[in-house]
Chains A and B, each alone.
Chain A
Amino acid sequence: MTSIHNNKLTTNEAIVTYTILILCTLIGIVNPAFLSFSTIITLSRAMLITLIFAGIEMLVIISGGIDVSFPAIACFASYASIKLILKYNIDSILFFYLFASVLGFGFGCLNAFLIARRHMPPLIATLGVSNIANGATLAFLGTKELSNIPTHIDSLSKAYLFSFTNKSHITYEMTSLILIPIIFLVVLAFFLKFTTLGRGIYAIGGDKNAARIAGYNVKKIQSLVYIAAGVLAAVGGVTYTILMRQASPQNLMGSEMMVIAAVVVGGTRITGGHGTVIGSVLGVLLIAIVQNNLVMVGVPTHFQTFVVGLIIVLGTSVTSIRAKHIANSAKL
């Protein structure tokens, strides 16, 4: 452990930062327009939802599990809520968030029950729940995208923190929804670092038995993690609906891969027990830059999936080789 903390220049976060800087310089050379303030606004909008999901996924992975059901839960919760809202004409942002959170809570409890109580492998359990949620959305709620969001709820999508007009008179507006991931991630960082429960999540991810013997209630902590993941997934889904001004039953499906990738690239160890909020944010940033700006450096669109895949493989290999190195080094 000491070797990682002593050298701040070779931590995972540092490596990701270097990669981001090199990438930005490269894109900036090819296309100088990239290095402007407007890029920050565009990128924050692109990262907004991924940041929320990355926070959830990081929490679950640190606890030694994995969650692939959050896109399905997000879709189900937000789509079901918006249907109810449209049917009974309840034009309230608070109701939207609360009702969706209750649905997310339900699915979170299901995940928690299967994984913490019945000891199912987290990947298979959440994959099953994902199918249940997604199948239920499409089979029982509908397949149509709804764009007639009630006016009051819709007004949130036009609430801006500040706006910025560049030299060619194009106005960029920073959506105030960005506050949701920022507040969530700051709270998460403090929670993980300074609370007993937060340390407990690292402990059970590192070694379940050791954590139990040390006095942590493993079942309780695991359940809390998956329930929180369910609720936050719903919050993410609602935020996505408001941001896109459209409710879709399956637009988010498939995003789990990218989120897991971002989290792992950011240095969270997939086997559990390690991970930081800053690392995950950097991972999300790296993937967002790659996804949104490869075209600028001349990489054709159909190569993008491959390039993102390659970055993930390289990123995980680096993390894993480092972990192997640390495991093999002499213990003090």
Chain B
Amino acid sequence: MKYDKINKNNAMLLLLGILIFVIMGILQPRSFLRSANIRGMFIQLPEYGILCYGMMLAMISGGIDLSLVGIANFASIVGATVMIANGNTSFSIMLGILAALVVGIGCGLFNGFLIGYLKIPAMLVTLCGLQLYQGLGLAITKGPALTGLPSNFAKIANNNFLGIPIPFYVFIVSTLVIAYLMKSTVYGQQVKFLGANETASRYSGINNLKVTLLTYMFSGILGAVSGILISSHYNSAKSDYGKSYTLLTLLIVVLGGTNPDGGEGNILGVALAVFVLQLISSAFNILRINSFVKTFVFGIILIGTLLVSEYLDEKKQKE
């Protein structure tokens, strides 16, 4: 029963994606199918696509991670500071990326500790976390963007490998890692149990605290990876890049069939939803529709999706 619904949702997303692609291909073939547009999509999509996996993990565990964008920016700022201090070498880039990942792990563990040990609701912790990490980033940069990063760093987001932008490979690797984590590890099963019923999970011998810590740690790492991509894309680091991504990730994760109450979610659905949203976003840009209309439409899609899935659930229950 459950698998039917998930597959139906994914099939719908795939259909929607193809539909948008075909319509735009007919309406604006010159600009939509141009390689620059496709390339732009492949650079932009991983930035929030990777954040979505973090949000998905947190949501499956029965929580939510609103601090992802804050972690991304804070991690990239620390990474940038390290890089600037170590000069223009490949070693300094490695060191900077490592520093960013460490920051991501640290922030994630801090979130996980407050949520799992002190039992503060995830929504509140991560909302505060957003403020806290953004504030730390602001304290380091003192406001303006950090520039003067090593010249090779910008190549991460802006160079191609076999004709496809490098961020897209990062996205694929993240997808595979998370898919493996969810399908083939004990952790993957435990996080679903935890999200479905916390008490039952505790009584069945699962260490809830450990699972929560791991979940938010993974989420933090994903945030940091996205932060590295964003700062490489802009070749600078700032505390308020990608502010609109919080709602976007929530929307994608819900659209991808993740249950906002926890316990359910699939990677394929989220990945498909990332593509669909990127197609919509590009279509808006090419049709020169005001970006505020995009905000409006995304809000409607979010609520519409929830209404439809709620309606389908109700119908199924009646049967």
Contact = CB atoms under 8 A, between A and B. Distances in A.
Interface of A: 66, 114, 118-121, 123-125, 127-136, 138-139, 143, 257, 260-261, 264, 270-271, 300, 302-310, 312-313, 316-317, 320-321, 324
A329 to B, nearest CB: 15
Contact of A324 (B118, B127, B133): B118
Contact of A320 (B120, B127, B131, B260): B120
Nearest to B142: A302
Contacts of A308: 131, 135
Contacts of A133: 299
Q: DSSP majority for the B interface? A: helix
A124 B134 contact: no
Interface in B43-69: 64
Among B130, B134, B295, residue most surrounded by chain A Cβ atoms (within 10 Å): B295
Contacts of B293: 135, 139
Interface stretch (B5-13, B77-85, B194-202, B302-310): B302-310
Nearest to A131: B299
Q: Which 3 A-B pairs have the closest CB atoms?
A: A135-B296, A306-B135, A131-B299
B292 A127 contact: no
A125 B300 CA distance: 10
B294 interface: yes
B138 A306 contact: yes
Contacts of A304: 135
Nearest to A306: B135
Contacts, number: 132
A123 B64 contact: yes
Contacts of B132: 306, 309-310, 312-313
Nearest to B253: A124
Contacts of B302: 124, 127-128, 131
A309 B135 contact: yes
Interface of B: 64, 114, 118-121, 123-125, 127-136, 138-139, 141-143, 247, 250, 254, 260-261, 290, 292-300, 302-303, 306-307, 310
Given A127-B302, A136-B296, A66 B123 contact: yes
10 contacts: A66-B123, A120-B303, A129-B299, A135-B296, A139-B293, A139-B295, A306-B138, A306-B139, A309-B128, A324-B119
Given A120-B310, A139-B295, A305-B138, A316 B120 contact: yes
A129 B303 contact: yes
Nearest to A142: B292
A305 B123 contact: no
A143 B295 CA distance: 14
Nearest to B298: A131
Among B123, B131, B254, residue most surrounded by chain A Cβ atoms (within 10 Å): B131
B297 A135 contact: yes
A264 B307 contact: no
A21 B113 CA distance: 31
Among B139, B292, B293, B302, residue most surrounded by chain A Cβ atoms (within 10 Å): B292
Contact of A138 (B124, B295, B298): B295
B131 A124 contact: no
A120 B303 CA distance: 9
B131 A131 contact: no
Contacts of B298: 131, 135
Contacts of B292: 134-135, 138-139, 143
A13 to B, nearest CB: 19
B295 A305 contact: no
Nearest to B134: A305
A65 to B, nearest CB: 11
Nearest to A305: B135
B124 A316 contact: yes
A260 B131 CA distance: 12
Contacts of B138: 302-303, 305-306
Contacts of B114: 313, 317
A132 B260 contact: no
Given A143-B292, A261-B131, A305-B135, 8 more contacts: A121-B261, A128-B299, A129-B299, A257-B130, A264-B124, A308-B131, A309-B128, A313-B132
Contacts of B297: 135
Nearest to B246: A127
